Each structure stands twice: as structure tokens, then as C-alpha cells.
Structure 1
Amino acid sequence: MWKYASKLHSRRLAGPLVRHYRVLAIESSCDDSCVALLDKYLAHDPPKIIGQSKSTLNSAKEGGIIPTAAHEFHQMALADLVQGFCAEHNLNSNSPPDLICCTRGPGMVGSLSAGIQTAKGLSIAWNRPLIGVHHMLGHVLTAILPKTSQPDLAPPRYPYLSLLCSGGHTMLVLLKSITDHKILINTSDIAAGDSIDKCARVLGIEGNMRGKELETYVANIPEELKAKFSKINTSSADNEFKLQMRLPLKGPSHLKVPDVVEFVFSQFQSTLQRFKEVNFPDQNIDEVTKQFVAYKIQETIFDHLIDRINISFFKHGLSKNGDGELAGVRDFICSGGVAANQTLRKKLSENLTYDANLQLSPDDMVFHFPDIALCTDNAVMIGTAGIEILENLKVKSDLKFLPIRRWPMNELLDVDGWVVVSDAEFHEIRKF
């Protein structure tokens, strides 16, 4: 029998709208079946979210996502989800959307295929253009949407930096345009979100989203305990909890500014496993030790992110030691599932440092934190990215395109399947 957690959140707009074009978007790159409807009501404003729905496979008992199970879940859930959503929003052959978007990659091929085939079917049935979207570009471009916690913040302007931080990817990207991307930092092993999930599992923290459960667990630790934990040095095991947890890539064997700046996350799980085997071989970790370790894991993983980003700032700044890549950067986006973590948001806002010659102070950097609901995988981000691809690049996808498991962000247009949109079709879609 299928086990799944279904989440449905639909937001309708009050009052009349002057509609220019509507976009139906589908996301299915991992274990979330998602659909959304956007309205691009004004040429120079971000789209409005008419509604969105999501169903998520529950993999808590399995301890992680099994690709075949995720594929079968999408096959079961997605068509029914889309059918109900279209009925709710009166989308049919007599009133179709003007553009269809779906996730092409990167992601799990089976999961991606389910969304792509659904989108292709709708494209054929309704005779509407289709765009296969880059999943990570979608995460970045959520920053152009209005933000509940930053209602007066203008959208980011190129060039800007984006920290993409999720269960599948963790990278710092410099974006000079929708297609001009340079990856300044990538992971050499696993993503931050994957590391957090695996550490939470070792600690015995349960739930379908273990990273979120770990954040909640740490947030509920009494403040006086957290204050005590923050003063305990774990550079060696010479502390009351016997935990040694150092920042990766620090020490005499590592260059202060390496030729290639990377994130490293796999060692956190191995460190925790060794700690448990040595200190608690035949019993569960006691509650206070569990609280301490959970606190230190979250803090140290995020401190590693901050440390590597600061090194990248120095390496790419405007001083005699830098290469000037960051000239003109004023906006910093944090997106992806881990970007929902409030501790990470606080650390980014307070702990990034800047090259004095970068002509940029901490107060000058504008941080963009998308709404929490748009940090995890969702179809709104896919529709938003599809709109940007259409309007800036004037391309769509042909019906022969296939899912892409690995798709570097700096190779957006270097894959097959792109077709130039004629001026006539472009204006037919947009109606401006």
C-alpha cells in the first residue's frame, strides 16, 4: 500500500485581474508531485500565484527516498493531482493556460519522466507551448517573487550571488544573466541537506523531512543550554561530551585560500557515527548529549558554509589578491530546502565578511530569503523560471526532449530540445 503525506495549499487572488497570460507548471524532480498556476498580469512585474498544490511521498520508515518508489508515487499521484487542480481552476480545452512548464532536470530520471509526460500530454491536448525548466534555476528565481518577510524588497539585479542549498545540491553561483552562470563553490561529495538528514538519522530523529525535524529539535532546546553549548570547544574531544567536530578543510595541511574552493559535508555523518560507536556502543544517546550533538551539528555545518563563502569573497574580491569577479554584486539570494532554516538565514545575514577593497560593506549587501513555502520543491518556481526563459531567451522545448539527471547550471542552453519561439507565437502567448 502507498504511504504518502498530502499537502494542499492554494492561494486565490481577491478582486478582478486583467489577465495577459497564464502558466501551468509541474514539478516532479524528487518526491514531491507539484502543480501551480501563475498569472503574468503585467509585463514588468513578477507573476501572481493563482494557486498551487502538492503531494509528497512519505519515506520516513525507509530512512530516505528510494528512486523507484518515488517514480511509482508520481505515476499514482501526479495525474490525479493535476486533474483536480485543473478542475478547480477551470483549465480545460475551452479555457487552457497559455504556456505549460515542467521540470526537465536535474533530478531523478523516473520522477522527472512522470512530470514531463504529463506536461507533454497537456501540451498536445491543448496545443500550447511547453518549456522544460532547470530545477535549480527555478530555486534561484523564486527571489523575484514578493516575500512575506521582506515586503518592500525589490527583486535582485544582475550580477548577483545565489547560495543554492538543498538535499541534492549545495553551491555558490554568480549569475550575470539568466544564462551566464559561474559556479564559485560546489560540493566535493554530498549536499548540505543530505548531510543534515543523515546526521539526524544517526541521532534517531524521525520524520519525513529529517532536516526540518532537526531544526525544530534544536530550536526547542532551552536557551540556557544552548548558551552553554555555544561555549564548548569541539576542536578536540577534550570536553564534557567527548565530541570532536571540527570545521572541514581547516588546518596546516590545507591552504587558507585554495585554488578551488569547495564545500565538504560527508565527514559530519562519519564523525557522528564514530562518536556514537565509541561512547554509546550498546545504548541510546542520553537526552542532554543528544541535544548538544544536534546543536553542534547544525552550527558546524552552517559555519562551514559561511567559512567557504568568506574565502570565496576574498578570492574573487577587488583587492590585489582577488580576481574581481564580484564587481558590481549587491544582492545575495539563499534558496533551496535548507534555505528555510532560520539559523542559516541568521548566520548569513550576520557572519559573512567582505574584502575591504570590494567597495561593499555588510550593510550594503541585500539578502533575499524566499518565503518558506517556496524554499522546498514546488511548481511555482518552475513556472516563474519558465516565464523568465520565454521572455528573455524566446525559446521553448520540443516534444522530443528527455529528462536530464545531471544538468550544470552554467549549461542551460547547451542541451538539445530548445526551439526558437517566433515573434508571432511569442506575442500570441504573452498578449501584451
Structure 2
Amino acid sequence: MSKKTIHILAIESSCDDTGAAVLKNNRVLSNEVAGQKVHAAYGGVVPELASRAHQQNIVPVVDQALKIANVNKSELDAIAFTRGPGLMGSLLVGTSFAKSLSIALDIPLIPVNHMQAHVLAHFIQDDSQKQPPFPFLCMTISGGHTQILRVNSHEEFEILGETIDDAVGEAFDKTAKLLGLPYPGGPLIDKNAKEGNPLAFSFSEPKTPNPLDFSFSGFKTAILYFLQKEQKKDSKFIENNMNDICASVQRSLVNILMNRLKLASEQTGINHVAIAGGVSANSEIRSTLKAMENEMGWITYIPKFEYTTDNAAMIGIVGYYKYLNKDFSTENIIAASRLDINK
């Protein structure tokens, strides 16, 4: 390419975090995120409140990202943004802003698939994380998605298995809610589990027609019935066993994930294995995957914490590869709440 340095402004607004990042080629110069505390009172994300908060946050977050990166708007070469999947109201805020700025600056507009971005976060040039070779397996785990992918290139993703109902992140958060823990509860289960006995209670692993698929709906129901049964015997059961319950639930969920991942590796013969998505910040998932290097002979890839949860840097890295391929869009592009991994 004739232009050696590419500056991309990336925008992420798929759920309840407003993110903006500036990348210089495949390196992150800034990665700013504004969260939304308003949802805690409701025990989950309220779509209407999320979109309103995005409208309030997007201008200051973008401005902050540009200032920290020390990049002027006139130096930008493209605008990358999350097209989907996600909450439609939230996506519309980021999409509209990106379109407007692209037109105003007369620079290319690059729509990005949020799920591709989680996977390609591994390719952000950062001295503290290594990049997997193609093909590799990637398990994307978040509040809304659970998938095992064979990643053949920066543009080609093959779904080997996915959830047929709920995502693993929802199983963590729903369990936390049943235990009376505040939202978001997944990180609190992880924290309490460190002080508990993971063998204190056992929960069965759901079966699926495709052995690489996941199902967490029945798992959540099993936790509900288990707690109701034990509380009839002891009204303070949760209070007295909080750490053990958290440790046992987390161990069961991690086992479900890892058993599918082991099977995918055996079936494909691929031993380069990565994780991505917000739930990949879970400490037991990370330590268990690392232990697989000895047990299974895997080479594993774990993203930095700031690239696991929803963030704009991961949107920017997809934007960078799309820019190299001149994969641009017109202002007629629309947000999509549902979006296939290869679109």
C-alpha cells in the first residue's frame, strides 16, 4: 500500500458499554469505555436506558479517545463501527454516529461484526499477548453468545458448535441473581468461588444432539430447583454455603465448556486453541485452559483483560484488516441485531 500508517477510529455500542478506540495500523493508541451503572437496579440491561446512555456518552468518549491517542480527526483514514449483533437501539446510536462522521470527514466507513471482533482481538499488536496461527480454534463466551469456531483466516469463520438456547454468561448471571448477588453477577461468582470447595455440590452436564453444541437453559433451571430444595431444609442455606455454591457452579460450567473444546480439538486435530469474549475474563476458565497445554498438548491464547469485555479496540482491529482489503461500506448500511459470524 502507498500509505504506510493507517489511523482508524473505532466505535462499539452493541450493548451497555460505549467504546471508542484509535488504532495506528494494528496497534492501539487509545481504548476508552464508558459503562452504564443504571442497569444494576434492574438486575440486567434495559435496552431503552442503554440507548439513551449511549447518546449521552458517545461524543465525550470519542473525544477522549482522540485526545489520548493524540490524533486529530483530520488524520483519520476510516471509521469502523459495530454493525451487530446486539441491542438494536444501542447499535443505532453507534451506527448513526459513525455514518455522520464518515460523511463529514469524507473517509471510508467500515461495518464490523461484533463476534468477529472478539475473535480477532487476538491480533491486536501488543507485547503481552501472542497471535495464533491459522487455522485455530476459538471459543467465544459472553453474556449473549457461546460458540466454538474454527478460524481459517481473518475473514473466514466456521461454527463447529454453539448454544441452542442461552449463553454461558447468562448462566453465570442468572445463578448470581438466584443467590442474591448484584448485577453483573458473573465476576462475583468467580470471586466467591476462590474461597469455596468446587466439589461440594454436583450438577449434571446438559446433553445436545450435536456434541459440540451447548445448552444452558436446563442448567439454570437445575440450579433454581437445587436452591429451592435446600432452602426448604435450611432457610439460610445460601448464606451459609455461598462460596461452595459459587465454586461448584463455576466448576460445572467450566467443565461443560472445556469438554466441548477438547472434543472439537480431537475432531479437527487443531491444537492451537483460543478463548474470547467477556466470560473469558473468568479466572478459572483461564487457569483451566492454561492447564490444558500439558494435558492436551495445546498451545493456548488468552486475550488481555481489556480486550475480553466489549471494547472498541477489537472493533478497530477488524476495521484495520478490512481497510487493507478495501472492504468499505456506503452510508446505506444498516445496523443488524442478529448477524451471522461471516457477515
TM-score by length of 2: 0.91
Distance (Å, rounded) in 2 between the aligned partners of 1:401 and 1:180: 21
Distance (Å, rounded) in 2 between the aligned partners of 1:387 and 1:202: 42
1:295 aligns with 2:247: yes
**Alignment equivalent of 1:184, drawn from 143, 148, 160:** 160
Conserved? CA contact 1:306–1:351, under 8 Å:
no
Distance (Å, rounded) in 1 between the aligned partners of 2:24 and 2:206: 45
Letter in 1 for 2:258: I
Distance (Å, rounded) in 2 between the aligned partners of 1:52 and 1:182: 29
| CA drift at 1:215 | 0.9
| CA drift at 1:260 | 5.4
Conserved? CA contact 1:60–1:206, under 8 Å:
yes
Distance (Å, rounded) in 1 between the aligned partners of 2:128 and 2:153: 26
**Alignment equivalent of 2:222, drawn from 271, 283, 294:** 271
Letter in 2 for 1:73: A
TM-score by length of 1: 0.73
**Alignment equivalent of 2:283, drawn from 318, 342, 355:** 342
Conserved? CA contact 2:147–2:159, under 8 Å:
yes
1:195 aligns with 2:191: no
| CA drift at 1:272 | 1.8
**Alignment equivalent of 1:331, drawn from 250, 253, 272:** 272
Larger Rg: 1
Distance (Å, rounded) in 2 between the aligned partners of 1:51 and 1:88: 6
Conserved? CA contact 1:268–1:297, under 8 Å:
no
1:385 aligns with 2:343: no
Greater percentage in helix:
2
Partner of 2:191: 216
| CA drift at 1:266 | 1.6
Q: 1:176 to 1:85 in 2, by over 3 A?
A: closer
Percent of residue pairs identical: 30
Secondary structure at 2:40 match in 1: coil
Partner of 1:394: 326
Distance (Å, rounded) in 2 between the aligned partners of 1:131 and 1:259: 35
Partner of 2:16: 31
Uncovered stretches (5+) of structure 1, i.e. residues with no partner: 1-17, 41-46, 235-244, 317-325, 354-360, 413-432
Distance (Å, rounded) in 2 between the aligned partners of 1:116 and 1:69: 17
Partner of 2:88: 109
Letter in 1 for 2:83: R
| CA drift at 1:313 | 3.4
Conserved? CA contact 1:175–1:181, under 8 Å:
yes
Q: 1:124 to 1:206 in 2, by over 3 A?
A: same
Per-residue deviation, residues 33-74 of structure 1 (Å, max 9, x unmatched): 00011111xxxxxx2211121111111111000111111111
**Alignment equivalent of 1:73, drawn from 41, 48, 53:** 53
Q: 1:122 to 1:96 in 2, by over 3 A?
A: farther
Distance (Å, rounded) in 1 between the aligned partners of 2:127 and 2:44: 31
- Equivalent positions of 1:152-191 (< 5 A) are 153=130, 155-191=131-167
Of structures 1 and 2, the one scoring higher in RCO (CA 8 A, sep 6+) is 2
Conserved? CA contact 2:48–2:89, under 8 Å:
yes
- Equivalent positions of 1:35-54 (< 5 A) are 35-40=20-25, 47-54=26-33
Secondary structure at 1:262 match in 2: coil
Per-residue deviation, residues 393-424 of structure 1 (Å, max 9, x unmatched): 33101111001111111x32xxxxxxxxxxxx
| CA drift at 1:88 | 4.9
Q: 1:292 to 1:105 in 2, by over 3 A?
A: same
Distance (Å, rounded) in 2 between the aligned partners of 1:86 and 1:394: 23
Letter in 2 for 1:31: D
- Report how many aligned residue pairs link the two structures: 339
Conserved? CA contact 2:121–2:303, under 8 Å:
yes
RMSD: 2.3
Distance (Å, rounded) in 2 between the aligned partners of 1:260 and 1:401: 37
Distance (Å, rounded) in 1 between the aligned partners of 2:24 and 2:118: 19
Q: 1:311 to 1:92 in 2, by over 3 A?
A: closer
Conserved? CA contact 2:201–2:245, under 8 Å:
no
Partner of 1:3: none
Distance (Å, rounded) in 1 between the aligned partners of 2:116 and 2:287: 24
- Equivalent positions of 1:84-163 (< 5 A) are 84-89=64-69, 91-92=71-72, 95-146=74-125, 150=129, 153=130, 155-163=131-139
